[in-house]
Structure 1
Amino acid sequence: MTKAFVYAGHHTVGNMVSDRLCAAGWHRVTDAGAADAVITYFTVQTALEDAYFGDNGIVQGARKGTLIVDLSCTTPTFARELNAMACVDDLVAVEAPLVVQDVSVPDAFAARENLACFVGGEEDCIERAREVLDLLVGSVTDAGGPGSAQLARAAYSLQAVSHLIAAIEADALYHAVRTSSDMGEIAGARAGALTPAGDELLAAVNDGRFDGTYTVEMFMAEITAALTTADDADLILPQAEAAQRLLELLAIIGGSDKAPAALSLVYREEEACANEGLDWSRAEQAYGDHHHDHDDDDDADYGDDFGDAGFIDDDGMTGAYPGFN
């Protein structure tokens, strides 16, 4: 018997889900009440909440016994809430936050082996979801009960952003020294990396590969979910918060649809940014009269401009970029 599925959320992940499931004999429908499985992936928290709990949302519209698989990066609190609501309505729900293992690949979702996920939920629900998850990703890690997969994903996100910033800032240092001194060519041509993923990222920066299907928007959603999880536990994570502000800056100047490697452009001359379609005047409008000038001594104080502009409000929510919050 042919099985039916509904997908809701980001179109890039939706294309991947449809391709994989349809190739396995499933067919896509638009009515949750007619589906055997509902799969979601959102980068905006309010959209995720509306999809499940809004008027005519998934929880209300799905028939009893429907499998619910959320691939979004959200918080353990939301995952537990969704699980509780699903149990009340006799739905089979799991959280399975998606992981792109090599973010430098231009089509990051094309190869199943480049995708992984953590999965959390009741044991029988996880067992029911295995068929779908094994079709979508190359590696599935069982994290435990409801909320556990989102916690594991948050920890993974914090490490991923640390590697990204470290690699890009190392490259920025090499680039700045080579162009501002008489050292000439340095053996190795660019900064090295301690991990294969970091080396691939640096290769993308060096080759100018700043476009891809895995985007800054997605990466920001993952980091903000981790920061929200930390905030729920009254924990401050300065490194991740600083990284998120850099990503927000890149998004404001037009880089939300770029690959994460494009963050390296924030450290480069304005002309290099313009060549990639980035516009620093947007940052001036958002943060006030601050100019992107590497020769300006005030440039080192750009972090203060974020707070002065009110871009991050008192609750840590982003005010100008429509990301996870």
Structure 2
Amino acid sequence: MTKAFVFAGNDTVGNMVADRLCGAGWQRVGDAGAADAVLTYFTTQTALEDAYFGDNGIVQGARKGTLLIDLSCTTPTFARELNAMACVADLVAVEAPLVVTDVAVPDAFAVRENLGCFVGGEEDCVEAAREVLDLLVAHVTDVGGPGSAQLARAAYSLQATAQLVAAVEADALYHAVRTSSDMGEIAGMRAGAITPAGDALLAAVTDGRFDGTYTVEMLMGELTAALTTADDADLILPQAEAVQRLLELLAIIGGSDKAPSALSLVYREEDACAKEGLDWTRAEQTYGDHDHDHDDEADWDDDFGDAGIMDDDGMTGAYPGFN
């Protein structure tokens, strides 16, 4: 008997899910009430909550026994809440936040071996979801009961984003010093590439690959979930918060649909950003006109910390590494 599934959320992930499941004989339908499995992936908490708990949401519309697999990055609190609601409604729920191994690949979701997930939930629920997860990703890591997979994913997100930003800033420093001192090219050197993830990102920067199916929006969603998890535990993570501000700035100037490698453009000349469709006037409109008035500089400091020192051009010199 052919099994049916519904997907809700991000189109890129939805296309990957549809390709893998339909290739295995599943049928995609449009109604959760007619599906054997419902899969979701959202980059914002609000959209995720609306999808499951809103009017005519998944929990309300799915029939008893339906398998719910959430591929989103969210908080352990939400994962436990979804599990509790699913149990009351006689649904089978698991959390399985996606992991993209190499975020610099142009089509990051095309190859199953580039994808993994953590999975958490009741033991029988995880067992029921295993067939579907194995079709979607190459690496499935079972980490325990409800909430555990989201906690593991949050920890992974903190480390992954720190590595990416460290590589980008090392590269920015390398190029700034090399240019100012006329050192020329150093054969075989890829600045800051101390991890495989950093090396892959810098290869994309070197090649000028700033577009891909894994986007800054997805990365921001993952980091936001990690920061919310920390906030729920009354824990302050200054490094992660600084990275989130940097990603938000990239999104504001038009980079939310870019690949994470586009973060390197924030440290380059304005014309280099413009060639990739990034517009610094959007930041000026968002944060206001920060010329040389000291009150304005104080406002900028409120937004971006002690790094908010303006140069003669105003906005473009406001963050460490900006040219």
Deviation (angstroms), 1:4: 0.1
Alignment map for 1:197-236 (pairs within 5 Å):
197-236=197-236
Deviation (angstroms), 1:180: 1.4
Deviation (angstroms), 1:188: 3.2
- CA distance 1:205–1:191, change in 2 (3 Å): same
Deviation (angstroms), 1:183: 2.1
- The reply to whether residue 11 of structure 1 matches residue 17 of structure 2 is no
Partner residue of 2:313?
none
- The reply to whether residue 105 of structure 1 matches residue 105 of structure 2 is yes
**SS of residue matched to 2:194:** coil
- CA distance 1:166–1:89, change in 2 (3 Å): same
Deviation (angstroms), 1:189: 4.4
What per-residue deviation string (whole Å, max 9, x for no partner) do you get for residues 168-213 of structure 1?
0010011111211132233434304122221111100111100000
Separation (CA, whole Å) in 2 of partners of 1:303 and 1:18: 46
* Percent identity for Structure 1 against Structure 2: 86
Separation (CA, whole Å) in 2 of partners of 1:253 and 1:86: 40
Partner residue of 2:37?
37
- CA distance 1:207–1:302, change in 2 (3 Å): farther
Partner residue of 1:116?
116
Q: Select between 172-181 and 253-262 the one with higher mean Cα deviation.
A: 172-181
* 8 Å contact from structure 1 (residues 253, 282) kept in 2: yes
* 8 Å contact from structure 1 (residues 174, 190) kept in 2: no
* TM-score after normalising by structure 1: 0.90
* 8 Å contact from structure 1 (residues 178, 186) kept in 2: no
* 8 Å contact from structure 2 (residues 8, 14) kept in 1: yes
Separation (CA, whole Å) in 1 of partners of 2:142 and 2:39: 18
Matching residue's letter, 1:186:
I
Separation (CA, whole Å) in 1 of partners of 2:48 and 2:303: 31
Separation (CA, whole Å) in 2 of partners of 1:289 and 1:98: 40
Partner residue of 2:312?
none
Alignment map for 1:15-30 (pairs within 5 Å):
15-30=15-30
**SS of residue matched to 1:263:** helix
* 8 Å contact from structure 2 (residues 164, 197) kept in 1: no
Separation (CA, whole Å) in 2 of partners of 1:107 and 1:184: 33
Deviation (angstroms), 1:20: 0.3
**SS of residue matched to 1:278:** coil
**SS of residue matched to 1:161:** helix
What per-residue deviation string (whole Å, max 9, x for no partner) do you get for residues 198-237 of structure 1?
1111100111100000000000000000000000000000
Separation (CA, whole Å) in 2 of partners of 1:57 and 1:157: 28
Matching residue's letter, 1:138:
A
Matching residue's letter, 1:30:
G
Instruction: Give the aligned length.
Output: 301
* TM-score after normalising by structure 2: 0.90
**SS of residue matched to 1:108:** coil
Separation (CA, whole Å) in 1 of partners of 2:55 and 2:21: 28
Deviation (angstroms), 1:306: 4.2
Partner residue of 1:46?
46
Deviation (angstroms), 1:60: 0.4
Separation (CA, whole Å) in 2 of partners of 1:52 and 1:229: 19
* Structure 1: gaps of 5 or more residues: 292-297, 309-325
Separation (CA, whole Å) in 2 of partners of 1:305 and 1:154: 24
- The reply to whether residue 168 of structure 1 matches residue 156 of structure 2 is no
**SS of residue matched to 2:205:** helix
Deviation (angstroms), 1:47: 0.8
* Structure 2: gaps of 5 or more residues: 307-323
Matching residue's letter, 2:46:
T
- CA distance 1:83–1:110, change in 2 (3 Å): same
What per-residue deviation string (whole Å, max 9, x for no partner) do you get for residues 116-149 of structure 1?
0000000000000000000000000001000000
Alignment map for 1:224-303 (pairs within 5 Å):
224-290=224-290, 303=301
Matching residue's letter, 1:167:
A
Separation (CA, whole Å) in 1 of partners of 2:190 and 2:120: 40
Alignment map for 1:61-80 (pairs within 5 Å):
61-80=61-80
Q: CA RMSD in A?
A: 1.7
Separation (CA, whole Å) in 2 of partners of 1:5 and 1:164: 35
Matching residue's letter, 2:146:
P
* 8 Å contact from structure 2 (residues 93, 121) kept in 1: yes
Separation (CA, whole Å) in 1 of partners of 2:192 and 2:268: 19
**SS of residue matched to 2:69:** strand
Partner residue of 1:130?
130
